[in-house]
Amino acid sequence: MSTPPRQKRLTPADITALKGNRPIVSLTAYTTPIARILDRHCNLLLVGDSLGMVLYGMDTTVGVTMDMMVAHGQAVMRGVSRACVIVDLPFGSYQESKEQAFRNAVRLMKETGCDGVKLEGGAEMAETVAFLVSRGVPVFGHIGLMPQQVNTSGGYRSKGHSEAEQDKIRRDAKAIDEAGAFAMVIEGTVEPLAREITTTVMAATIGIGASPACDGQILVSDDMLGLFNEFKPRFVKHYSELAEVIEKAAGDYATEVKERVFPGQEHTFQIRPKK
């Protein structure tokens, strides 16, 4: 018995093919409902370890676990029919060895059905990237500001302000590119350097706090939606102010409950008359 063909989702190879053709639209997603909404607008959805801070209130991404990434990866995949989906390898799940990275990447792909994994690091991770790619795991790199290294890099500060930093980021981009990454995030990096790297690597570059010349852009969806008002990074643009909308809705609900306006009779179940 034949089954109807499923709609084809974008692959990592499709994302690389967009380089130099049209801008790649990317956002983070952590839940099924949000993934379902974003899917029609995005080429790539990233299940980022930023979920530790966005959903769980962590101060950094360091405390995120493999189990958390698997659970949210599964949730996102339930809501996607079009976009390429990449899941972050969390801190400590790939740095020990290329074999450890392979085991955890395979787990993510098998248990979620995602299209590939993302890991942070430059030249020091190139051997691992090549090891994964040669064994069938598409890898999305991440250079520049690397949140998993916040404890050794001096905090969340932009990169590339000195010649030494620029040279390191150039080497990182080249190493990850030559190792076979299909794309790389360039985060928190001075604009001219991000622009230069985009023209020198084969991989698609996805900017966040980088350059409009990158092959694509990504934002944390909760930042884009204006769900956080406590702090707004320089590179974030709010396309909505949902925190204010939610605040008003919760306030209106609380008032109606206190005044016994809600629920009304139209929100209750009555005994049906006997026939």
- Binding-site residues, in ranges, read 49-50, 88, 118, 120
Q: Which of 167, 107, 105 is nearest to 140 (CA)?
A: 105
d(C-alpha 17, C-alpha 204), whole Å:
8
- Binding-site residues for 3-methyl-2-oxobutanoate, in ranges, read 49-50, 88, 118
- Binding-site residues for Mg(2+), in ranges, read 49, 88, 120
Rg (the chain; Cα; Å): 21
Contacts of 173-176 with C-beta under 8 Å, sequence gap 24+, read 173/122, 173/143, 173/197, 173/200, 173/201, 174/200, 174/201, 175/122, 175/123, 175/125, 175/126, 176/121, 176/122, 176/123, 176/125, 176/126, 176/129, 176/141, 176/143, 176/203
**Active-site residue identified among 127, 163, 187, 241:** 187
Active site includes 256?
A: no
Q: Which of 41, 42, 60, 40 is nearest to 52 (CA)?
A: 60
Token pair recorded at residue 236: 């974030």
- Give catalytic residues, as residue numbers: 187
